[in-house]
């Protein structure tokens, strides 16, 4: 009995075209074209350029492209670095055995009752680290059957399995993007908290409480997103403000220290020297000398 894929209220036969590991491709260009097949392209190594519809993107390791039938596309494999990728090409056939012009994303969104990011339709998405073995195994299963004439009759099932894995990866990537957006918003709120409270002593524990995180986790997430720790960010903000106050006001150094949350002017002076290479007094004196009208 022929296997048929049930999706979007219709049944489709799967006609496998080809699956390959394409290794070390260098400056291999394929002009803009279209045809009634699906392409699944998973980049393993190197770089290239892929245009889907009117959107050009840089192919890089860990990206998965899903190109729907008759969508114009072009490739430049190995743009500066040799590119290695896994590719699977297949068609879905309708009840009349004609190539069906259906959209992968429409099918899986209907199946799950949940939308994927719109940019997934014309751009690749990054395969979550934890899901890379799942996707690679799916390609390898198709490859194993394709290489053996005796088992090619099972290719439709293997391609359906690969599609199921690609669907799981797409929704996994979507969840990671949502989590990233959420963490970016959280980091922005922590930055605002630190900026708003730079005029008083602030501890890491207090900042972590504000973010509803443990101090260690906050430090890790904050550094991943900004390259510095929360307290490092606060100190840099205070030093920028200190430079402004020293340059634009006549406030004594101890008053500036107090305004920036430092209880001891001597400690403020040491921090300022480490950040700028000179004491607050020397910094102000140098600016005054430079700006003095001659």
Please state the domain extents for the chain: 4-179, 198-293
Fold of 4-179: Jelly Rolls (2.60.120)
Q: pTM here?
A: 0.63
Fold of 198-293: Arc Repressor Mutant, subunit A (1.10.10)
Strand duo 28-33 + 125-126: pairing: unpaired
Q: Note the pLDDT of residue 184.
A: 76
Q: Note the pLDDT of residue 149.
A: 73
Q: Which residues contact 90 (CB under 8 A, 6 or more apart)?
A: 14, 15, 16, 17, 37, 38, 159
Per-residue pLDDT of the chain (294 residues; tens, 9 = 90+): 466 777 767 888 999 999 999 999 999 999 999 999 999 999 999 999 999 998 999 999 999 999 999 999 999 998 888 999 999 999 999 888 899 889 999 988 888 888 888 888 888 998 988 889 999 999 999 999 988 876 666 889 999 999 999 999 898 888 776 666 567 778 888 999 999 999 999 999 999 998 888 889 889 888 888 899 999 999 999 999 999 999 889 899 999 999 999 999 999 999 999 999 999 999 999 888 876 644
Q: Note the pLDDT of residue 1.
A: 45
Q: Note the pLDDT of residue 294.
A: 46
Q: Note the pLDDT of residue 19.
A: 95
């Amino acid at each position: 009995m022929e296997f048929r894929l049930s999706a979007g209220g219709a049944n489709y036969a799967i006609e496998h075209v080809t699956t390959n590991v394409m290794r070390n491709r260098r400056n291999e260009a394929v002009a803009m074209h279209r045809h009634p097949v699906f392409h699944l392209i998973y980049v393993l190594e190197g770089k290239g350029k892929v245009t889907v519809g009117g959107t050009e993107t840089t192919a890089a390791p860990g990206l998965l492209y899903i190109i729907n039938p008759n969508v114009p596309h072009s490739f430049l494999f190995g743009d500066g670095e040799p590119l290695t990728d896994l590719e699977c090409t297949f068609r879905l056939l309708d009840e009349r055995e004609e190539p069906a012009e259906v959209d992968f994303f429409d099918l899986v969104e209907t199946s799950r009752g949940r939308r994927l990011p719109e940019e997934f339709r014309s751009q690749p998405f990054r395969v979550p680290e934890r899901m890379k073995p799942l996707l690679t195994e799916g390609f390898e299963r198709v490859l194993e059957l394709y290489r053996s004439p005796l088992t090619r009759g099972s290719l439709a099932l293997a391609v359906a399995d690969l599609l199921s894995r690609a669907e799981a990866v797409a929704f996994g990537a979507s969840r990671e993007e949502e989590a990233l957006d959420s963490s970016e918003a959280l980091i922005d709120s922590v930055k605002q908290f630190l900026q708003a409270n730079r005029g008083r002593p602030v501890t890491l524990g207090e900042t972590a409480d504000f973010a509803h995180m443990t101090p260690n986790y906050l430090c890790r997430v904050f550094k991943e997103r900004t390259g510095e720790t929360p307290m490092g960010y606060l100190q840099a903000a205070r030093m920028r403000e200190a430079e402004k106050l020293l340059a634009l006001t006549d406030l004594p150094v101890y008053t500036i220290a107090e305004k920036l949350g430092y209880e001891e002017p001597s400690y403020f002076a040491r921090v300022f020297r480490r950040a700028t290479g000179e004491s607050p007094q020397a910094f102000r004196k140098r600016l005054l000398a430079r700006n003095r009208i001659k």
